[in-house]
Amino acid sequence: MELKQIGPKTFCIENDTNIGIHFTDDGRMYLIDTGSKGDGEKIDEILSREGWVPSCIINTHTHIDHIGGNEFLMRKYGIPAYCTDYDMAFAHYSELEAAYMNGGYPAEKLRTIFAHPGMIGFRSLEKETPDGIDWTYLPGHSFGMIGIRTSDDIWFLGDSYLSRSFLKQYTFGFIYNVEAYIDTLKKLKEFKGALFVPSHGIIETDIVPTLEQNLRSVTEMCGMICETCREYRGQDEILQQMYERLRMHARPAQHALLSSTVKSYLTYLQDRNKLECRFVDNIMKWRTQE
Ligand SMILES: [Zn+2]
């Protein structure tokens, strides 16, 4: 974890999940996201070293790699965390994220990996926004994800897009709603700001080329699925073809995320009449529309 000053009043702890630190004019300090489980203690070492005391946490969304350190920091400092109402449902119930990734009651391993902290003091951003920041909805990757703009004009954009380094490695990234994801990428192109901080990867001053790369990547994924479905294919076959084309060997947790993502792509393509689906020998299969 490396602490970097990125604006007059804003810092970033660069890590697998980037953590934002913003100071308001009256000296309060906000944390933006807290990384994965166990990261709270590491963030706290940096805060203690600098003599900083946070007054709240603002979460871009409540996926487990963004709120992993919340419980430790909220309890230690007696502070609230803010997120949107939609995402709060996932923070509040331990197995909800695993259940929606899995599409049914998840195995113990998934329940453990995606376990959420419960009702530990999340507050609604819709009802109350801490002074000194603005936020806007950026849905697609999660239900109620937001982008946060600090008073020194730095955007923390969560997982609304993939930074260039991640796009290479994770072309096939988790998306819940493909249509909303595309709309968010287009909306982001209009954003003005001094710096743009994604949750994973590189901070940039101009993200338009990266956003265009993200849009191309979604189009490529759609193309790959349509090509795979020249003949009727079941969901597992489609997923297998994607893994092979992208030379991937998915692990169980990643497989849960990506089978959920494939379903979202199938929905997107079916809703646009690019794919039709029917039962073949009692297996639901999809085929590209002529
Ligand atoms: Zn996420």
The CA 113 to ligand 1 mean position distance, Å, reads 14
CA dihedral 241, 242, 245, 246 (to 10 degrees): -150
Ligand 1 ion: residues within 5 Å (CB) = 63, 159
Q: What is the pTM of this model?
A: 0.94
Q: Are residues 62 and 196 in the same domain?
A: yes
The CA 194 to ligand 1 mean position distance, Å, reads 23
Q: Are residues 30 and 95 in the same domain?
A: yes
pLDDT of residue 166: 86
Q: Are residues 193 and 261 in the same domain?
A: no
Tally Cβ neighbours within 10 Å of residue 226: 17
Q: Are 193 and 247 in contact (CB under 8 A)?
A: no
The CA 182 to ligand 1 mean position distance, Å, reads 16
How far from 268 is each of 182, 205, 225, 232, CA to CA, in Å?
A: 11, 31, 11, 17
pLDDT of residue 171: 79
The CA 281 to ligand 1 mean position distance, Å, reads 37
The CA 231 to ligand 1 mean position distance, Å, reads 33
pLDDT of residue 251: 85
The CA 261 to ligand 1 mean position distance, Å, reads 12
Number of folded domains that form the chain: 2
pLDDT of residue 169: 78
| Per-position pLDDT tens, the chain of length 290 | 899 999 999 999 999 999 999 999 999 999 999 999 999 999 999 999 999 999 999 999 999 999 999 999 999 999 999 999 999 999 999 999 999 888 899 999 999 999 998 999 999 999 999 999 999 999 999 999 999 999 999 999 999 999 998 888 777 889 999 999 999 999 999 999 999 999 999 999 999 999 999 999 999 999 999 999 999 999 999 999 999 998 888 888 888 889 999 999 999 999 999 999 999 999 999 999 97
Q: Are residues 106 and 30 in the same domain?
A: yes
Q: Are residues 248 and 275 in the same domain?
A: yes
The CA 92 to ligand 1 mean position distance, Å, reads 16
Q: Are 287 and 231 in contact (CB under 8 A)?
A: yes
Nearest to 240 by CA among 189, 172, 289: 172
The CA 54 to ligand 1 mean position distance, Å, reads 23
The CA 61 to ligand 1 mean position distance, Å, reads 7
Q: What is the CATH number of the domain that holds 96?
A: 3.60.15.10
Residue whose token pair is 């796009």 = 167
The CA 17 to ligand 1 mean position distance, Å, reads 10
Residue 123, burial from CB neighbour count under 10 angstroms (0-12, 13-18, 19+): middle
pLDDT of residue 252: 84
Q: What is the CATH number of the domain that holds 231?
A: 1.10.10
pLDDT of residue 170: 77
The CA 279 to ligand 1 mean position distance, Å, reads 33
The CA 73 to ligand 1 mean position distance, Å, reads 20
The CA 22 to ligand 1 mean position distance, Å, reads 21
Q: Are residues 88 and 165 in the same domain?
A: yes
pLDDT of residue 229: 97
The CA 63 to ligand 1 mean position distance, Å, reads 5
Domain that holds residue 201: 2-218
The CA 58 to ligand 1 mean position distance, Å, reads 14
The CA 268 to ligand 1 mean position distance, Å, reads 20
CA 108 to chain CA centroid, Å, is 23
Q: Are residues 146 and 256 in the same domain?
A: no
DSSP codes of every residue in 237-264: HHHHHHHHHTT----HHHHHHHHHHHHH
pLDDT of residue 7: 97
